[in-house]
Chains A and B, each alone.
Chain A
Amino acid sequence: MPLYIAKRLAIGVGTIWAAFTLTFLLVHSTDNSPGAVRLGMGATPEEVEVENERLGWNRPLLTQYADDLGKMVRLDFGQSLINRGDVRDQLSDRLPVTASISVLATLLAGIVGTALGVVAAVRGRGTAKAVNAFSGFSLSIPSFWLGVVLVYFFAIRLDLLPATGYSRFSEGVGSWLQSLALPVITLAIGGAAVVARMAASGMREALAREYITTLRAIGTPEWRIRYIHALRAASLPVVGALGVQFIVLFGGSVIIENLFALPGIGQAALFGATGNDFPILIGVVVMSTAVVVITNLVLDLLTAVLDPKLRTR
């Protein structure tokens, strides 16, 4: 088990490093420069050059890389080129919003998807076909469009939920959940479809196993066979799928924040991308990757709890 955790941790650190390096290379592969971004349209080439010199942009690439990497380890991403604010402070305000959306959406997708998958696996051919059709359908609906449709029905026509805006957790759990309801549901539907297919095939595979016959032969009640033994077996691929889904839903929430006007990290990425704000971009990528890595570590631990082969290693 310690070896397993160490391995996962190493991969996590490697992922953050890869994210940083990739973005660093992207930023440095353009003819745009931070000086030009910082001073805006009106600046002369000479002024830009002076500013770049001041920002250390003209140093050798490797020196800058080592320098930036060192700062990144200390969570120092520098200042925004646009609003001059500290990148870490700006992003750490926004991170909880995106993280809440994607964590809640992953949880919802996991619960709804597992329930659908189990029903599809045990309720015979007709139900299985219906669930499969639903999954195929919801996998193909773009979340940013589904969001618009849901806003139209639930916020505008029925007036049940707020269409846009964010209410902080500290302002009350009720209004926090209300402000997140539509974005979370929007995102979760696609995830639930993936999980449902995974859970259904996992259950079916488990129920075809030899040990199910053993359990039947000692008169184990059917509910126990299904919901304790088969479901436990199916939970392994489902948890595996949730790790991938979290990455997908995190990306989705970056897009969805724009639709629901939520002050998350995706909005920062959007402004950063529009304004070529390099420090913001690097900060967003590194911090998002860190969230993804931490969530996947938690799911890895969960897998180890569920699977004795990993636990007893």
Chain B
Amino acid sequence: MSSIRQAKHQRIPAFLRSWGGVFGAGWLIFMFLASITARWWRPYDVAEQDLIARLQGPSSEYWLGTDAVGRDLFSRVFTAGALPLQASAVMVLVAFGIGLPLILIAAERGGRVEEAIGRFAETIMSLPSTVILLAAIGAIGNRIYPVMMIFGLLVSAALYRILIGVAKSSRQHLYIDAARVDGMGSIRVNLAHVLPSMARPIAVQAAIVYAIGLLIINGLAFLGFGPGEPQPSWGFMIKDASDNIFNSPWMMVPPGVALSLTVMAANALADALAGPLGIPEYTPPKRRRTISASPAQQSEGTDNLALSVRDLSVVVEGGPTLVSGISFDLRQGEVMGLVGESGCGKTMTARSLLGLLPAGVEVSSGSIIWQGRQIAGLPERDAIKIRGREIAMISQEPMVALDPLFSVKSQLTRPLRRFRGVGRREARRIALELLRQVGIVDAERVLRCYPHQLSGGMAQRVAIALALTGSPKLLIADEPTTALDVTVQAEILSLLRALVAETGMSVLLVSHDLGVVADICDRIAVMYSGQVVEAGTVAEVLEDPYHPYTMALLGANPHVADDAPEPERLAAISGSVPPPGNWPEGCRFADRCQFAASECSVAFEPEPAHVDGMSLCIRTGELRRTGAQWAPEHRGAELAVESEAP
């Protein structure tokens, strides 16, 4: 819709803003006008023979040469366009005249009606149309328009198959329901709302079908079922050329090029009308250039630090910064929560640990020290050795995280054989063991299943088992329970807790849910606008938050601890996270903060907080002294914004 509306605002329609569209529309119009006016301007009559000048190449007398009886090819090629260009248009009209009502009825009625029409369309679609058209010619004679109408009937079935989905989805729009409720009749709803919203796919299909019609008409003419001599047709001229190919190969050029260009024009028009496809371009993981990472700061207590992230920044290549100056540590066997609203850079931070950032996004500076090694910006060749084996990941949507075309068995045993160098049978045994470890009772049955046969919770358990195939020391869990039911959520969380206890691995849990974090994490890092704003142990941070944003998050959290008094109303945080590239100078939360003051608009260093944590708020000390609490009611922010303006 939006593109159609856009097009209305500009003077040139969208499809004419590409070379293909200009060529397509231009050539079709030119050919049509040239061919219907040919009789008035062509240099020779189509039947005029010059027996002295037979089978000639291009010359000043005959611009495109002559055929076997000395007729002018230039005159004939341009005259020949009129019939196919018109007959194919009639065919397109017939096809849509039959197809569109069926599509609209099927989309409106659904159920039985749709199924019946669908079956019928599928039957018609599987008919070999060329043979049917020959049979039609044999029965009713060589009459081009009626034959093309029969072809239109056959094509309408294909149109049905292609456009029924579009029609059904355009009926889903709310304004169509609204129109129905308003008492608009079925026909008016279809004409006023459904059809216009299908305009673009209809136009695309019309152009494609038109091109097919041109090919069929000329194919039949090639077989001798054209307009009949001496009237020219491209198809029969090509047939003529093939009969004279030894004497005059040139003859095949004019009709072939004319027909090909015309078909190409219709196809180019279809491509231009369709616009770019909405499928993302695939960029293979390339050797990322090694970043100017700061040297590993091994000095601070390497005791049992598994992961140490320092000043990590992630940027869009040539675009805004997504994550800036992130630092945190993770000890072996520890569970750390990375929390914040969506869009604050949690997932980018987590993915950068695996070197699995989306195409065009990269680590620009800082260091990721994993087991004493710098792994930030590792080349793909080295990063791939860490994935699964040392650091693994489970993602948000378990139902789409597994390949639907492969069985659980195949998806588990493949990596097992690669990671552990075991044979088929042993891999199967370990797979069963892993499934049991993640709490699946009937592991044998699940092993034989395909992803679509699993429930969400079951799929997430399988995904966890998959992540465990390489016995990783760190598991990144990106919103592992968000897509699951509450009861299943609790099960998955206790499974993660049990796995940490059993295997001694560390977990980096990405979540927006403070309840989940409070449930299973040892430490927490609160993120806002691509920065860590507060870090510390879960107990300290959640019970005694230093940073106003953490206070606000806790105030907005509907889960209340058992012993806490029930608040009268939940706090709301006004405004929204500023988008990357639009971060204010100084504190990025200041615009939404109840305690913002003039000093918040200049850059500052994090303050130490809790035992070994930090708080990124210049007023930390002051707020602690006054015992400030985030108020459910919104106050003060406007004033702060004013005082902050540079």
Contact = CB atoms under 8 A, between A and B. Distances in A.
B282 A149 contact: no
B498 interface: no
A6 interface: no
A18 B157 CA distance: 13
B242 A148 contact: yes
A149 B252 contact: yes
Interface in B290-336: none
Interface string B222-245: 111100000000010011011001
16 contacts: A18-B127, A26-B150, A29-B140, A121-B282, A139-B263, A144-B238, A145-B238, A148-B241, A156-B246, A201-B279, A214-B403, A216-B354, A220-B388, A255-B219, A273-B137, A277-B138
A218 B388 contact: yes
B628 interface: no
Interface residues of B, number: 86
Nearest to A200: B279
A296 to B, nearest CB: 6
Contacts of A185: none
Contact of B356 (A213, A221, A266, A289): A213
B281 interface: yes
Interface stretch (B44-52, B464-472, B524-532, B553-561): B464-472
A141 interface: yes
Contact of A218 (B219, B259, B415): B415
**Lowest 9 A-B CB distances belong to which pairs?**
A251-B130, A218-B388, A273-B138, A140-B264, A219-B387, A219-B388, A217-B393, A308-B450, A26-B139
B219 A211 contact: no
B400 interface: yes
A208 B359 CA distance: 11
Nearest to A26: B139
Contacts of A87: none
Interface stretch (A41-49, A108-116, A278-286): A278-286
Contacts of B356: 213, 216-217
Nearest to A205: B279
Interface in A157-177: none
Nearest to B130: A251
A210 B256 contact: no
A63 to B, nearest CB: 20
B113 to A, nearest CB: 18
A276 interface: yes
Nearest to B216: A251
A14 B119 contact: yes
A14 B126 CA distance: 10
A14 B283 CA distance: 46
A277 B219 CA distance: 21
Interface string A1-45: 000000000011011001100110011011010000000000000
Contacts of A144: 218-219, 222, 235, 238-239
Interface string A206-228: 01111101111111111000000
B402 A211 contact: yes
A211 B400 contact: yes
B242 A142 contact: no
A306 B263 contact: no
Contact of B129 (A247, A258, A270, A274): A247
Given A144-B219, A258-B222, A284-B131, A211 B126 contact: no
Interface string A248-284: 0011101100110000011001101111111011101
Nearest to A203: B282
B280 A204 contact: yes
Nearest to A141: B260
B128 A273 contact: no
Interface residues of A, number: 90
A281 B138 contact: yes
B282 A122 contact: yes
B135 A26 contact: yes
Contacts of A30: 139-141
Contacts of B282: 121-122, 203-204, 207-208
B245 A309 contact: no
A220 B128 CA distance: 44
A285 B119 contact: no
Given A282-B135, A308-B404, 18 more contacts: A11-B119, A23-B135, A30-B140, A142-B238, A207-B282, A213-B395, A215-B403, A217-B387, A219-B418, A229-B403, A247-B126, A255-B130, A255-B219, A258-B222, A273-B137, A281-B139, A288-B128, A312-B453
B192 interface: no
A259 B236 CA distance: 12
Contacts of A22: 127, 132
Contacts of A269: 131, 134-135, 138
Interface core residue of A142, A152, A291 (most chain B CB under 10 Å):
A142
B181 interface: no
Contacts of B404: 211, 308-309
B193 interface: no
Contact of A18 (B124, B245, B387, B388): B124
A125 B281 contact: yes
Contacts of A277: 138
A233 B405 CA distance: 7
A247 B127 CA distance: 7
Nearest to B386: A219
B406 interface: yes
A151 interface: yes
Contacts of B401: 210-211, 213-214
A307 interface: yes
A250 B128 contact: yes
Contact of B260 (A140, A210, A216, A220): A140
Nearest to A7: B119
A308 B397 contact: no
Contacts of B123: 11, 14-15, 18
Nearest to A224: B414
A306 B136 CA distance: 38
B245 A148 contact: yes
Nearest to A123: B284
Interface core residue of B119, B242, B402, B415 (most chain A CB under 10 Å):
B242
Contacts of B267: 136, 139-140
Contacts of B268: 136
Interface string A224-249: 00000100110000000000100100
Interface string B245-279: 11001001001100110011001100100000101
Contact of B130 (A27, A152, A254, A306): A254
Contacts of A293: 126
B260 A218 contact: no
Given A11-B119, A148-B256, A270 B134 contact: yes
Contacts of A149: 252, 256
A272 B132 CA distance: 12
Given A203-B282, A210-B401, A216-B356, A254 B238 contact: no
